[in-house]
Amino acid sequence: MLRLTRSQTLALVLLTLFWGVNWPVMKLAVGQYPPMGFRALSMLLGLPCLAIGLAWCRVPFALPRRYWLPVAGLALTNMVVWHVALMLALPHLSSGRAAILGYTMPVFSALWGLLLYGQRFDGRQLFGVASAGVGVLLLLWHEFSRLSGAPVAAATLLFGAAIWALGTQQLRRATLPVPTLAIAFWMTAITTAVVCVLALLTEAPPRAWPNASTWGAIAYNAVLIFGFCHAAWFALARALPPVASSVSVSLIPVLGLLSGAWWLGEVLHWQDGAAIAAIVAAIVAVLWPARPAGPVALRAS
């Protein structure tokens, strides 16, 4: 039986809200500032925020040397590939549809679980994954022709989502005797270093400092995304079954789509409403607690 605690429910609600709204925030920022540089600044400022959170919670930072390589591997699949792919693809895609492509992750997670770990689904989990997949297809209904104009960007983001889904499966099965927040901190530190190097190697130095709106986007990402959402996500991904943790964030692209329509003027269609219903149904199917089994009657001998 799957039953969320109050703290898990609150964390899920907040990270869904913050991550969903972040898609148009990021889209505006990468239109004004080099994408990898934007991500590097966000992570450089977000890492101290995460460190403050660990210190506040009295979580030890120590990571024994024998766990460095496993944590680096988890960082690669959970963060590095995803963030690099996102910054390469986002400038060429609309914010709402980029969110949809990114959050095909639950479907990829289910496939990884089936192919690599022999994971079997009960009826509700299978319905949830299928419903989430239908929701994504509906949201992409009007975008296939547009995506055909940016196939490399779309494929890059789908690849990032697939690797992130693999990382979710790996993180859930990791047996490291290290607090999840400490793992989140060191994965973020590794990813920050990689993104900073890529920003220096692949982008020309910006001619000016970020403007006020870009600094606002950087602060939003530093404090809410890297300081809170990533830590909350890793805690959920490690505590919940992979399918449940993956499908539970399926509402994020819906929020990204709606906030992009409100903020950036993107047009909505009836398929978007149907997709919202399908995704909500998927979340309910996977996260709604099952009824406890009733007492078994003893058969008279």
pLDDT at 94: 78
> Token pair for residue 294?
């009733």
Confidence check: pLDDT of 1 > 70:
no
pLDDT band at 154 (very low <50, low <70, confident <90, very high): confident
More confident residue, 172 or 225: 225
- Please provide the distance, in angstroms rounded to a whole number, between the alpha carbons at the two ends of the chain: 32
Rounded percentage of the chain residues whose pLDDT exceeds 70: 76
Q: Residue 268: enclosing H or E segment and its boundaries? A: none
Sign of the C-alpha dihedral computed for residues 238, 71, 57 and 217 taken in this order: negative
151 burial (CB, 10 Å; 0-12 / 13-18 / 19+) is: exposed
- d(Cα 34, Cα 39) in Å, to the nearest integer? 9
Tokens 């899920």 belong to which residue? 12
Confidence check: pLDDT of 128 > 90:
no
Confidence check: pLDDT of 113 > 70:
yes
- The pTM score is 0.81
**Alpha carbon of 230 to those of 103, 225, 300: distances in Å?**
15, 6, 56
pLDDT at 189: 97
pLDDT at 298: 42
**192-209 residue pLDDT tens:** 999 999 999 999 888 888
Sign of the C-alpha dihedral computed for residues 147, 148, 149 and 152 taken in this order: positive
pLDDT at 293: 47
- d(Cα 100, Cα 15) in Å, to the nearest integer? 16
Confidence check: pLDDT of 148 > 50:
yes
